[in-house]
Amino acid sequence: MSEKRSLKNVYSIKTPEDSINLYRSWASSYDADFARQNDYQSPLEIAKYFDKYSNNEDTPILDVGAGTGLIGECLNLNSRKIDAIDISPEMLNIAKLKNCYSKIIEADLTKRLLIGDNHYGAVVSAGTFTHGHVGPDALDELLRITRPGGLFVLTIHYKLFKKAGFDTKILELEGSITKPSFHEVRVYGNNPDKDHGNDKVIITVFRKK
Ligand SMILES: C[S@@+](CC[C@H](N)C(=O)[O-])C[C@H]1O[C@@H](n2cnc3c(N)ncnc32)[C@H](O)[C@@H]1O
């Protein structure tokens, strides 16, 4: 992996504009350069937990910060539909090639989304609630566009869970969501990176009330 795209660089971005710039240059090699080289497990873990908690009515699904579409590739969709949303058009172009997404939506998750209330039956996400990417306030908008009963299965980087206020946000949402379950899993399988090779995410699962 080149220095420009090292894990350190990914974790040091700060704004939506930084994301657009980083992923513009990275999109074409992301799957090989990041996912395979780092033995990236989060999309597989999301698919595993989605399988465990979902039913066939949890549709359509929104993949939040879908990137190149690794979750779409891993999910066992049955007859369910999945849409991809991301700020990076270049990442979404790669996701489109995977032929699993019904709709590709370019949007900034830190802003109001041009999606109607109660539209989605489920929200999944890997690698998006992480350093410098998307913070806990985006959950308000995601809840708005999800219908009552809709399932959420999200990774939240373990180091940010408290630091970025996901814990407080989840408590604040107590009246709007079912009691969440938390599952700590490793982000990477066999990865010797000394700073991030042992990173974890907290897979957070709940339904909108
Ligand atoms: C580490 S990648 C994860 C991609 C994919 N979910 C995966 O697991 O491979 C993070 C993604 O979040 C997107 N992203 C970052 N900030 C965003 C924002 N404000 N709005 C929408 N997408 C954003 C990036 O463009 C990038 O595709």
Its sign, for the CA torsion 165, 51, 104, 22, is positive
Ligand 1 close to Cβ of residue 208 (< 6 A): no
| Nearest residue by C-alpha to atom 16 in ligand 1 | 133
- pLDDT for residue 193: 87
Check if 100 has its Cβ closer than 6 Å to any atom of ligand 1.
no
Ligand 1 centroid distance, CA of 149 (Å): 25
Strands 82-86 and 120-129: unpaired
The answer, yes or no, to whether any atom of ligand 1 lies below 6 A from the CB of 110, is: yes
Q: Which residues, in sequence order, are CB contacts of 81 under 8 Å at separation 6+?
A: 59, 60, 61, 102
Quote the pLDDT of residue 5: 59
Enter the pTM of the model: 0.96
pLDDT in tens, 123-154: 999 999 998 899 999 999 999 999 999 999 99
Q: What's the pLDDT at 3? A: 43
CA atoms within 13 A on the CB side of 69: 23
pLDDT at 1: 47
pLDDT in tens, 32-81: 988 999 999 999 999 999 999 999 999 999 999 999 999 999 999 989 99
Ordered by where they begin, the domains of the chain are 3-207 (3.40.50.150)
Rounded mean pLDDT, 148-168: 97
